[in-house]
A and B are shown apart, each in its own frame.
Chain A
């Protein structure tokens, strides 16, 4: 059933994002064209084109956020919730479907923005520089050997988990906000800020509690020579970040699930 939910979630959101992506590519191409043409009096159109392009790129991220909130709220807690929650589908699957599709669009929005910048500026010179940069990274990668793979993997996992946990944090804030009879939006924003504060408190308590051990751990590398002195503590730091964001993901996920199952009260 998750597959079917994903299919309709994708359909519901694709009609917003695909035209937007198309427009971004179009404007990037137009901008490039305007800068390449050597003609008098093009300054004003150039500036306008550039402004529109930048606004579009900014708006694609705002829209990603708005769609994340709107899909979850409207489809599960609004009138559409009467249908969503009477489908023979587990509550888990609803959260999973929304989370996966939101993640997909966030990642695509970033990718589209990067590609559009390439469309805008890519020429022989910048491409050469880009490939040189890639070459440099590859050299470092080879020097570090096995731990480079580990760090790369850890970095990817950290980014994904932080992404997912911030999506789930929004969902958790929405279900809390929905408990409020009136001013649901305000309550939701309040809940979101509240979660942020709780996270900060937990993080600082942990750092305070284990401060001594942490100091000892990093100090122990002062005598180590070479790459290992940097690589090993870095790997460890990333691992701690992974564990922490995994904990956040789990907490927000199960909280949202519990609230939807037990405290659901559609209007």
Chain B
């Protein structure tokens, strides 16, 4: 068993008329917070969907903890997609029961705790909530799982800066020592302070993988500055 929680071996995904991932080789180590950074349409979401088994590779392999995406990997991966996937007709409480029923590593009391701190009433129906509140509920559900790998797709995209800080705090304080967080975003300045490593991706190719410390030492730049340089239009 290797030390990497996520591994890609010559991973290719093409859609009709578009090569989304071009033979990607990648290894994400355990216990780190990793930023998957790239401009729009760079292949971030495709990679994330492949890791969650929502797409199947055209060729090559993607392995989670040494396994191909399937029931066993879904048990240990907690995924926050960029859209709200909550069932409209449910109340927050039903949604929590739902997660508790299907995910053995779901911690209900943690979820209720976080809801209380964000002043969200568990009996409220999701239908009546604003988009921002739904996103918060979704993040709470995802972070209340004691997972081995959290995959967060644009977790701070749609919320105000104050909530952004709260969300980032939630992410750091809610994952255990040996868990890994992979988060994709283009709001680099906001997440830079919590990242251990970064992966730059562009047009389906991995451009750079590095630790944040290395970037600061070698290049003498912030991740944000390096990103602007690499992806200069």
Q: Which residues of A contact B (CB under 8 A)?
A: 1, 4, 7-8, 11-12, 15, 75, 79-83, 85-90, 261-262, 264-266
Contact = CB atoms under 8 A, between A and B. Distances in A.
A86 B74 contact: yes
Contacts of B86: 80, 83
Contact of A86 (B15, B54, B84): B54
A115 B134 CA distance: 42
Contact of B83 (A4, A12, A79): A79
Interface stretch (B31-39, B98-106, B201-209, B220-228): B98-106
Contact of A262 (B56, B81, B85): B56
Contacts of A85: 52-54
Residue among B72, B75, B85, B86 facing the most chain A CB atoms (10 A cut-off): B85
Given A1-B102, A264-B55, A266-B54, A86 B87 contact: no
A79 B53 contact: no
A7 B83 CA distance: 25
18 contacts: A15-B89, A80-B85, A82-B79, A82-B81, A82-B83, A83-B86, A85-B53, A86-B53, A86-B54, A86-B74, A86-B77, A87-B74, A87-B102, A88-B75, A264-B55, A265-B15, A266-B49, A266-B54
B166 to A, nearest CB: 23
B162 interface: no
Nearest to B72: A88
Nearest to B73: A88
Contacts of A7: 101
Residue among A80, A83, A262 facing the most chain B CB atoms (10 A cut-off): A83
Contacts of A266: 49, 54
Contacts of B85: 79-83
